[in-house]
Amino acid sequence: MEESDLCFQQLLNTSCRRPEIPYLEVMLTYILLSFISLLTVILNLLVIISISHFRQLHTPTNLLLLSLAVADFCIGLLLLFQIMLIDGCWFLGDIMCTLYQYLAYVITSASTGTMVIISIDRYIAICYPLHYSTKITQKEIKIIVCICWICSVIFQSLILMDNLKQPGRFNSCIGECVFVINYIAGIFDVIFSFILPITVIVVLYLRVFVVAVSQARAMRSQLAVTHQQSVTVTVKKSQLKAARTLGVVVVVFLICLCPYYCVALTGQDNLPSASSLTFVLCLAYFNSCLNPIMYVFFYPWFRKSIKIIVTLQILQPDSSKTNML
């Protein structure tokens, strides 16, 4: 074995060997992941600033988007560590490896939990519109979001307990960064992080879709009625539009994350090549970049807030009171 093939050339007997990956493939993966990471961080930071700064955007639904943006922003930062693993070597030590993997699991779990809460929020808004304003308040959403993140931390701490107790215990050589979950913990992780959340999301949105179609038909029959009824129709239209927008976000989330969890279920050994695993990981990470891009197309307030932030109008006094809707 040549020294150039080793992760640590001075450790001939204990260093990991670099995998034989074509140079062009490594460079393209570097460029792709770096671009996704930068774009994810910038776009989600814009979402965080927008919803946090402008008072008019402090709605229960937007607070859920804020939680999702924080998770996506952190994933964008963690993607920098994934870039370091492209050539097959980890240079930051066992503790940083464990911390990186643990945070990735926690943030992904919190992101999935937020998607479930978004589905519940839209279900109540569409199916029980008269009770939505009383059942769903900013205070309650803040508490629910905090509980979601705390539960993600506790759950993943239990799932990854063996790795947290002894960082690097499953590494076969120096320069490796692997996580091994025992069979029972793996089953619980797949059930509570994938199967159960997706089941809840799909069932709730199917119900929302059925109710939304019936409401849309009812609204068409009410267009020529009194002004008061027209106002009611407008309110319903806004809720239906929010449901459609967040429905797209949820569908894209499922499309991006399902291949990753399918690999987790079947095992990486069933993949035809290492590049396939890289693609699955890139697709999962890319979802964090897609969310704010979809907001640009669906939310006029986000386009307006980007303009205000980029032109530095946000630094003006009382800019938080700007009309965004």
pLDDT tens digits along 130-150: 888 888 888 999 999 999 999
Q: Whole-number mean pLDDT of the chain? A: 81
Is residue 11 one of the residues assigned to a domain?
Answer: no
Is residue 149 one of the residues assigned to a domain?
Answer: yes
Which structural domain range is residue 203 located in?
Answer: 22-319
Q: Are the CB atoms for 107 and 78 separated by under 8 Å?
A: yes
Q: N- to C-terminal Cα distance for the chain?
A: 64
Q: Are the CB atoms for 103 and 110 separated by under 8 Å?
A: no
Which domain CATH number covers 84? 1.20.1070.10
Is residue 14 one of the residues assigned to a domain?
Answer: no
- Rounded Cα distance between 55 and 52, Å, is 8
- Rounded Cα distance between 174 and 15, Å, is 5
Per the structure, the count of domains in the chain is: 1
Is residue 215 one of the residues assigned to a domain?
Answer: yes
Q: Give pLDDT, residue 267.
A: 57
Is residue 12 one of the residues assigned to a domain?
Answer: no
Low-confidence ranges of the chain (pLDDT < 50): 1-3, 227-235, 269-272
Q: Give pLDDT, residue 175.
A: 82
Is residue 8 one of the residues assigned to a domain?
Answer: no
Is residue 85 one of the residues assigned to a domain?
Answer: yes
Is residue 225 one of the residues assigned to a domain?
Answer: yes
Q: Give pLDDT, residue 152.
A: 94
Q: Give pLDDT, residue 222.
A: 64
